[in-house]
């Protein structure tokens, strides 16, 4: 069976929750867990007190509340495995996504993209997550340059650029550039339609995105498809 799934949980929130203090240096050909932690050590944002400093604290709080609701709406996907998502929950999620999309459009229309100066680093990343799950592909495409600029300013991580780029390209019927939207085939994630597959590892590394095989393992564990026994979301035990 071949099924293509749209991801409902986005990696930045998951990667940011991992323990950077527990990260260990790893060779590229070591275990999947070592490679996962090595990518975090090299690329992940280090939480800082300045993350929550915002010129518009009310908007920051609103964006954080929006993303918390976004994740609650998607909690059911963690246990559905390869099963089709329940229609009632999908309808509710899409309804709420539409409302959040409309609000983000209003924010952008009135004052531009929410920058870290305005809403803090966490608020800017919350805005991205709402955008990634937006129900308006045209709006997503229009905001891609804003996301790219935010990445260059250090306000978003490279995986945000990769995720939205592939979402926009897929919606336009183009091949993915970073392989961020894999297909589910017989209970495993495999690459979707990606351009220049030979150059994919270099493109992902340029944006500090996880290696493809580790990314697929993580998604399979996250969605309850299979247990690879590598504990990608758990910090190593302290001796």
User: Please, which pLDDT band fits residue 49 given cuts at 50, 70 and 90?
Assistant: low
- pLDDT value of position 230: 56
Where do the H-state alpha helices sit in the chain? Answer: 11-16, 32-43, 57-73, 87-111, 116-132, 137-152, 158-171, 200-206, 212-222
Residue spans per domain, the chain: 1-44+181-239, 49-156
Bigger pLDDT: 58 vs 32: 58
pLDDT confidence bin for 151, thresholds 50/70/90: very high
Query: 3-state DSSP call for residue 190?
Result: strand
Q: Return the structure tokens found at 58.
A: 């009310």
* Rounded distance between C-alpha atoms, residue 24 and residue 29, angstroms: 14
Alpha-carbon gap, residue 32 to 38, rounded angstroms: 10
Please state the pTM of the whole predicted model. 0.80
Q: Which of 211, 206, 202 is nearest to 28 (CA)?
A: 211
SS3 184: strand
């Amino acid at each position: 069976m071949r099924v293509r799934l749209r991801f409902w949980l986005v990696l930045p929130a998951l990667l940011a929750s991992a323990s950077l203090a527990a990260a260990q240096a790893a060779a590229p050909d070591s275990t999947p867990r070592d490679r996962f932690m090595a990518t975090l050590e090299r690329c992940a944002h280090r939480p800082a007190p300045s993350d929550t400093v915002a010129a518009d604290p009310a908007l920051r709080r609103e964006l954080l509340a929006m993303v918390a609701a976004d994740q609650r709406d998607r909690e059911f996907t963690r246990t559905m495995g390869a099963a089709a998502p329940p229609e009632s929950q999908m309808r509710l999620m899409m309804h709420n996504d539409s409302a959040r999309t409309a609000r983000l459009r209003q924010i952008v229309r009135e004052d531009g993209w929410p920058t870290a100066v305005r809403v803090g680093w966490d608020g800017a990343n919350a805005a991205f997550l709402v955008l990634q799950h937006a129900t308006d592909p045209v709006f997503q495409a229009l905001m891609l340059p804003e996301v790219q600029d935010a990445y260059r300013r250090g306000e978003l991580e490279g995986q945000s650029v990769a995720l939205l780029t592939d979402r926009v390209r897929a919606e336009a019927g183009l091949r993915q550039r970073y392989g961020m939207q894999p297909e589910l085939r017989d209970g495993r994630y495999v690459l979707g339609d990606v351009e220049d597959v030979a150059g994919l590892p270099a493109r992902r590394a340029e944006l500090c995105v996880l290696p493809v095989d580790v990314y697929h393992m993580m998604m399979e564990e996250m969605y309850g498809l299979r247990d690879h026994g590598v504990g990608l979301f758990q910090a190593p035990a302290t001796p």
